[in-house]
Each structure stands twice: as structure tokens, then as C-alpha cells.
Structure 1
Amino acid sequence: MRHAAGRWRAALVVAGAWLAHAAAWAWGNHALLSYRALEGWPTVAQAPAVKAETLDDFLRAQSGAVAALTDAQEAWARENIRSYTPRPERLTWVPQPQDTDAERRLAFFRALRLSPKAPLALFVQVDPRHPEATAHSQPLEPEAVFNIPPSKGATQRCVALQPGQPVTPLAVLASASDEPDYGYDIDLFDDNPGSADYGLGPQPFGNPAIRISSQAPFHMGFFHQGAVFNALAPAFARSYAQLRVHQYTTLAALAFRSGHDYWGWRFTGLALHYVQDLTQPYHASAAPGERLPGMVWANLLDKLGFPGRKAGLIVLQSNRHFVMENYQTRRLLASAQAGQDTVLEQALRDTQHDASYPAWHPQYLRDVVAAQAHAAGPATDAAIVVGAPARFVLDPAFDFGAQEDAIDLDADMRRQLQAQRDAMVAAIATLLRHLGAHTRNTVRGVQAQVGLTP
């Protein structure tokens, strides 16, 4: 029996490794989501402008407090995150008076176990609905803000900020909410090429040989798969999304309390990314459209020399995720450029359900956000199967991600029956309504730590 359980466990882990790679990105451009979710909310929309500040200036002023906070964050993670891999003592930040800016920054990154190559540059992403707000700013090349090449069809347009330049909290939050996809969580595990040597052990899921896949355990959380799944694949419990949210929200509170409001908003925006990722069913479930026995059976067949079912499962789950991401990103971009609203923008701005959720608490990401997304998985997957062209979501021989640049999804969707399109759009709008509420509730949670009432 023990050997049989081991074979099932190995099979399931193989499935998750590839499915996690397929969903390494969740929502495309998070800034498009955050601009719309926050632009009509007075707490952010009416907040006074803040002065841009470099990370080096912030760390120079607050090195002692930040270093102490990173130790408190580590203690919290060991106590509260399931299957957490503790930070080695050698990564503890002990500030020294003679530290240079570069040494201080590296020590900060090591204490957080964040990519040492993360630029954290001064920038904002252009809001395509209001490009006039940044029309006179200097455009930035991707390498100034990205640690990795942008994804295919990237929609980000970034412009530079200067130290001391006034900037709206809305622009800071929306821009920072997209940043973690710029390579901040890349190459952190021991078996990644170019590993940062942070003592995280082997990558628990996702393919460690594929660079973008190495961020998956920070951007996904399979918290609600059930006891059988957890017993067969215990490595899937090693998600670091909660770690990032706790790190950034507590850093934001420290920055606000110490008068560094720019970094208060910037760290809050960074936390938003992981919250928004976990509203995505393909990030909160190993395979929303597939039951556990089917996943295991596909991988057992693969081990017996019949790889077709497993390969098809991987492609279909990947295609459905990419279809949803492509559609919502392109729709939001086109609507912003046209200055128009659709049900997607209306869902993001809808504040009516914000108070229906529990107040922000340290386990909000796992117990509220991920639980809701996991529960929505089967219905979301079914709506995409019904609403999108069949060749994109039912044909395992078609790889949407590989051909995405040549696909005009809008045109293809217009050829679908109206009821089919409406089903898919309604499912996406429901998820975006959740995302908007959890985005605002995260900001509320940070402000509550500072003693403010949004």
C-alpha cells in the first residue's frame, strides 16, 4: 500500500508541475485592473499626492526599523504559514553605519528573500484611459523596470518619476500592483538556474527549469484542494503568497507611520498583486476543470507510456487560462482607450459587496480570497468552455499561448452565439467584482494597521 500511495503521489506532483507553469501569470496587466477598481473610491481617488522617493532613500532613513520588521515578519511566517521553509540565519539583516546604499538594498532583498535584481525603479504605468496625466513624463524601456523580458503582447507602458516629484496614490498603487510579475520572485529556489541561494529548498511545484515558472509558488496558493490531494501532494502546500502579502502590508504600515507615504502606497500596491492573483481560479486550484481522479489517471497513463491524456489536460487548462487572461486584458485596454465602460469596468468599481467580507485579517488571503476563487473554479472553467471558440478550449492539439500574438480573440468571440459570449463575460465579471472588493479591502487592512479608517 505504501508503494502504491507513492506512485499516486509522484503522478500528481508531475501534473501540478506543468499546470502551475501554464498559469504563471494570472491577470495579465494588473495596473489596468487596479486603476479601474480604485479610481472611483474616495479613500484613494481623493488622497493627496505624495512625493516620489527612491528605495535607497527610504532604507537609509529607516534601516533599523525595517531590519527589525523583517525579523518580526519571519517570526510571523514560521508561526502562521503552513509548510513554511524558515529563512536561514545568514540572511538576517544587521544594519551597519558604514553600509553603502547597494549593501543596504541587497541586505533588504535578502531579508525578504526577494530577487536581488528587482529594480524597484521610480516609475508609474500609464493609465490608457487618462494618458494625458503622464504625457510629459519620460518613457522608460522595459529593462528599466523589468528583471525579465515582458510577456508576449505586453500592454505595459511605463514612464519615469523623479525623486520629489508629486504623484497620485492611485498611480502608485496601480503601477505597483503589476510589479511582482516583473521578475521579483524569479530564481529564488535552490534548484533554479542562477538561484539566489535563499535556503528555500527545491521548487515545490512548477517546472524549475523554466524561468518564469519559478515564480509560481509565490503567485499561487492551493489551500483548499482537500485532504486527499494534500496527502498525495504535500509539496503543493508550500505557497509563499501569504508571505509576500504579510511582508508588503506590514512594510506599508511602517512606511506610513514613519512619514514615507510614497512607500506606504507603493508597498500596499505590491501586496495587491498577490491578493489579485489569488482571486483567479487558475491560481487557487491545481486544475479547476478537472477532478482529482482524472488528474492522477492522466499521469499514471503517462508513466505507463501513454502521454496523450496528460498532454491534453495540460494544454486545455493552459488554453482556458490564457483565453480568459487575453480577453479581459484586451477588453479593459480597448475600453480604456475609448473612454468607455463595459460590465467589466462596472464590476471592478462595484463597492456594494465590499462589506460582505470579513474585515481584513492576517489569514484573509487564504481563508477568504483563495477559498472564494477555488469554489468558483468549476463554474468559471465551464463558462469559458461554453463561451470561447471550441478550438481554443476543447482542442488539445491547439496551443493558445504559442499562437497568442496571431489570434484576434475579439473577432473570434463575435462569431460565437450571444448567449455563449454572455456566459463567459458574466463569469469574468463576477471574478473582477471579487477582485475589486478584495483590492479595496486590502487597502483598508493596511490603513487599519496605521490607525486610519478608510
Structure 2
Amino acid sequence: MRPLSLLCALFALLLPTLAQAWGNHTPMCYRAFERMPEVAGAAAVKAEPLDDFLRDQEAAIARELDAQEASAREQLKGHAPRPDTLRFVADTKRSDADRHAAFLRALRLSPHTRLALYVQVDPREPEVPGQAIDMNQVSAVTPSKGATQRFVALQPGEAVAPLAVLASACDEPDYGHDLNLFDDNPGSPSNPPYGFGKQPFGNPAVAIGSQAPFHMGFFHQGAIFNTLAPSFARTFTELRVRQYGGLAVLAWRTGHAYWGWRFAGLALHHVEDLTQPYHASAAPGATLGHMMWVNLKAQLGAPADRQGLVVLQSNRHFVLERFQTNWIIENARQRRDGPLEAALRDTGQDGRYPAWGSDYVREVVAAEAFAAGPATDAAVVVGAPAKFVTDPNFDFAANEATLGPELARGMQVQRDALQARLAELLRHFGAHSRNTLRGLLKQVGIAGR
């Protein structure tokens, strides 16, 4: 079997389990932005249905989306051109429903994308301030066991803090925006297709796996890897950041401040995903040579090592995410701060990065996360109970619901190394989130740092 086929065989198994990076982004974004003057000091905005924005700015949105597509074709490596039949063309005579559907098609989002009026409540708030709504009104994805989101409906015209809009939207792209968009996905849009072609990596038959190419970026694997497996370079995180970011700027400029903050949060999600080393590296705990070797052995009839690699990478990702989520949520509910909260708020490193630009996601965010991969993987091995991260016969994801308390107890004893490493990653998460927002705000004349 060719080397490319060997790599694809591995990642078809691995990547569907890693489609989400940080669990719930919103609690972390509340901490990252709550002391940023441009957010904390911003005036309340009025909640606005998406259809109102689309109707009012239809022609401007059409121009913006065309400009985005033109620049993506020119500047983004591996870009899949949008079919011309999906262009958003202004038509004041059509219904709101038709305009809404055309907008989703032009962005090449799932037709099941909700974009409802809501906020996700900061877990530091003991009571839900408003009418609680179920996740299925906000998300097209069935919530996982132990989901931590609490949603409150917004009414058109209701005043809401930009912090709440921004932080809520930072989690939203995981609610089904990017599912089944490839030609070989069972539930892919048809008539016309979206133009992304076949799914470049992962298992196209697994719905959550179809999200991965929009939330991962393997930009720094090296020339040998790219030669052997060029399809892994086809990721669309940069496209989503451009799309949502451009719409945020347009919304702010045209007096639709609610959607400015909302689209900004959607863009930030994809930036934040790439601060997670397991989303910027194909396998942080393994060399290319080792990956090739275990795949070759599997093809020769000894698949145990390949399956072990898949399980271990998955387990370590889940353990890191579960530790981070539990820590952030528990501290929020207790209204206390610790090293992770301090890291998220820390603005001391924001200025050491280059200014926001078109290559920031790839050359700054993803490069940093890729470089942090081996140390992060090692910290998980040292900081978590061995049962969860070194036993290839144990599948953490399959047992998470029953073994979560055991993991939490084990972490109490062994957490220091992992906590220190995680704090550094969340420092990157906060800095890149703020720098991205500053870059967007600068385009509408709101001063950055």
C-alpha cells in the first residue's frame, strides 16, 4: 500500500474523535474578554434577528461575500473555490426565508445552522437571567454527556452586553455549522454541491468527523508529510475566519452592532481551535516515522500498534479537554480564580505577537500550537493517571461518563505539571482571541492596544 494510503488509514480512525478542541469555549471567553476595555466598556447592543440584518444590508453583504471569495482564491493555499451558482445575489423581492437560505449557501454552511437569538450564560451566574431554552433550539448537534452550556433566549430589541454576545458566539461553530459539507458525506448538501469536494481527511461517514477540516490546521507538518499526504493540507479554518470576520466588520460599519459582536465571536472560535496542539498537529505524541511504521504493520496483519496509537492520541486529547473544562466550570461556579483564569486574562504577552493580518492564523497561531505539541502530549502523560493516557487498551471516550469522577480524583494528586502546561496554552488562547478582535475592531476605527 502507498504511503498516502497508510496515513489516510490512520487518520480516518483518529480525526473524527478530535473534531472539537476545547470543549465549551464560552466560559473561557468570558474570562479572556471581561477586562478588555474595548469589550468591557462597550455599550449594550440590541438583539437583532439575522433576517433583519440580511434584509437591510443585502447588497452590501453580496459585495462583501464576493470580495471574500476573490481574495480567498488569490491568497488561501488549498482553497476550494465557491461555485458561482452559490453567489449571494441581492433580490429585494424574495422572502426572508429564501434570503436566509441563500446566505447560508453562499457561506457554505450547513443548511441546518440555527443562528437563533440567545446568549450562553456565564457559569459564574448562579441563576439563569431570563427564559432558559434547550440546546436543540440553538444547535443542530445532539449535546454530549456532561454538556455545560446554559442558554437564555433573547427577544428582538432586547439590550445585551457585547461581552455576552461575543463569548456566547465563540462556542457556536461547534453547533453544526460545518457538518456534512463534503461531496462524500451522507448528509451533504446537494443541488448544487458546495464545492469542497471529497472530505480531505477523517471518515466521511462519521458526521462529527466532517467538521474536522474546518476546525483543524496541519500547516506545519513539514515537506515530507505534505508530499506523502497532501490532502491533509486542505483545511478551511482560515476561510471561516475571513468569512465571519469580514461580516463582523460590515455589521459594525452599518449600525448592526449585535451582529458585529456575534460574527466576531464566530470567527474567534476557529482561531481558538488552532491554539489547541491536537488541532494543529496530526499526532503531537508521535513522529511521522512511527506513524508510518505502525500503519505498515497493520497492513501486514498486526494492527494492534496502530489502534493503540489512535486510542492514546484520542485519550490524551479528551483528558486534556476534560481537565480544562472541569477546572474552568468548577471555578466559575464557585466564583473563584486560579492559574487558568489568570492565564486567560493575562494581557502581558498580547503585544509580543505580530499585529493581526491575513496570515496570522497560519503563521502565528497554528505555528505556536504545533511547536507546543510534543511538550503538551508529554505533560498529559505526566499529569494524568497512567490508566487514562498510557494504556492503549483503554478507550477514555467510551467510558468518560462513568470514569469522570475517577479522573478528577487522580488529577488532584498529579495535576501540577498538566495545569502549568494548560495555563500556558490558555494564555495563548486569550492573547490570540484578543489580538484577533483588535484586528477586526481596528478596521472600523476602534483603537487596538
User: Matched residues in 2 for 1:376 and 1:202: separation?
Assistant: 30
**Structure 1: how far apart are the matches of 2:57 and 2:12?**
40
Provide structure 2 residue ranges, at least 5 long, that are not aligned to the other structure: none
Q: How far is 1:19 from its partner?
A: 2.2
* Structure 2 match to 1:3: none
Q: What 5-or-longer segments of structure 1 have no aligned partner?
A: 1-5
Question: What TM-score do you get using the length of structure 1 for normalisation?
Answer: 0.96
Within the candidate set 433, 442, 446, 1:448 is matched to 442
- The corresponding residue for 1:365 is 361
The alignment status of 1:168 with 2:164, answered yes or no, reads: no
Deviation by residue 1:194-248 (Cα, 9 ceiling, x = unmatched): 1012121110011111101100000000000000000000001100000000001
Distance 1:49 1:146 in 2: 25
C-alpha separation in 2, matches of 1:131 and 1:108 = 37
CA contact (8 A) 2:136 2:142 kept: yes
User: Partner of 2:57: helix, strand, or coil?
Assistant: helix
Q: Which moved further from structure 2: 188-197 or 366-375?
A: 188-197
* Corresponding residue for residue 351 of structure 1: 347
- CA offsets per residue over residues 26-52 of structure 1, 9 Å max, x none? 000000110010111111111110000
Code of the residue aligned with 1:165 in structure 2: it is: E
1:370 aligned partner, one-letter code = A
Corresponding residue for 2:99? Answer: 104
Asked whether the 8 Å contact 1:22–1:314 carries over to 2, the reply is: no
User: After TM superposition, which residue ranges in structure 1, 4 or more long, deviate above 2 angstroms?
Assistant: 16-19
Structure 2 partner of 1:438: 432
Mapped contact 1:19–1:286 kept (Cα < 8 A): no
The answer on whether the counterparts of 1:77 and 1:84 sit within 8 Å (CA) in structure 2 is yes
How big is the shift at 1:16? 2.2
User: Does 2:334 correspond to 1:338?
Assistant: yes
Shift of 1:181: 0.4
Indicate the residue corresponding to 2:263 in structure 1. 267
Alignment correspondent of 1:413? 411
The TM-score with structure 2 as length reference comes to 0.97
Q: Which residue of 2 aligns with 1:59?
A: 54
Match of 1:22 among 17, 27, 40: 17
- 3-state SS of paired residue (2:203): coil
Q: Say yes or no: does 1:204 pair with 2:200.
A: yes
Q: List aligned pairs for 1:147-296, cutoff 5 A.
A: 147-196=140-189, 197-296=193-292
Separation in 1 of the partners of 2:328 and 2:315?
A: 20
CA distance in 2, matches of 1:264, 1:102: 21
The structure 2 residue matched to 1:142, chosen from 130, 135, 144, is: 135
C-alpha deviation, 1:175, in angstroms: 0.3
For the residues of structure 1 that align with 2:202 and 2:94, how far apart are their CA atoms? 37
After TM superposition, give the deviation of residue 414 of structure 1 in Å.
2.1
How far apart, CA to CA, are the structure 2 residues paired with 1:360 and 1:415? Answer: 40
Give me the whole-angstrom Cα distance separating, in 2, the residues matched to 1:260 and 1:325.
35
SS at match of 1:384: helix
Contact conserved, 2:278 with 2:284, CA < 8 A, in 1?
A: yes
- Counterpart of 2:306, as a letter, is K
SS of structure 2 residue aligned to 1:450:
coil
Structure 1 residue aligned with 2:68: 73
**CA distance in 2 between partners of 1:14 and 1:68 (Å):** 42
Structure 2 equivalent of residue 423 of structure 1: 417
CA contact (8 A) 1:257 1:450 kept: yes
Distance 2:69 2:301 in 1: 44
2:8 to 3, 9, 13: 13
Q: Distance in 1 between matches of 2:262 and 2:281?
A: 29
Identity %: 60
Structure-2 residue corresponding to 1:33? 28
User: SS of the counterpart of 1:370?
Assistant: helix
Give the letter aligned to residue 34 of structure 1.
C
1:90 to 71, 75, 85: 85
For residue 412 of structure 2, what is the amino acid of its counterpart?
R
Identify which of 305, 308, 312 aligns with 1:309. 305
Give the Å deviation of 1:363: 1.0
Cα distance per residue 1:338-388 (max 9 Å; x no partner) = 010010000000001100000000111001000000000000000000010
Q: Deviations over 1:302-340 (max 9, x none)?
A: 111211011000000000000000001010000000010
CA distance in 2, matches of 1:160, 1:21: 31
In structure 2, the partner of 1:50 is: 45
Shift of residue 97 of structure 1?
2.0
Mapped partners of 2:68, 2:20: distance in 1: 26
Quote the Cα distance in structure 2 between the aligned partners of 1:316 and 1:442: 33
- Two-structure CA RMSD over aligned residues (Å): 1.0
Shift in Å, 1:274:
0.4
Equivalent residue number for residue 124 of structure 1: 119
User: Any conservation in 2 of the 1:361–1:445 contact (CA below 8 Å)?
Assistant: yes
- Whole-angstrom CA distance in 2 between matches of 1:97 and 1:145: 28
Query: Are 1:52 and 1:165, in contact at CA under 8 Å, matched by a contact in 2?
Result: yes
Retained in 1: the 8 A contact 2:55–2:92? no
Quick one: distance in 2 between partners of 1:152 and 1:275? 25
* 1:424 partner amino acid: L
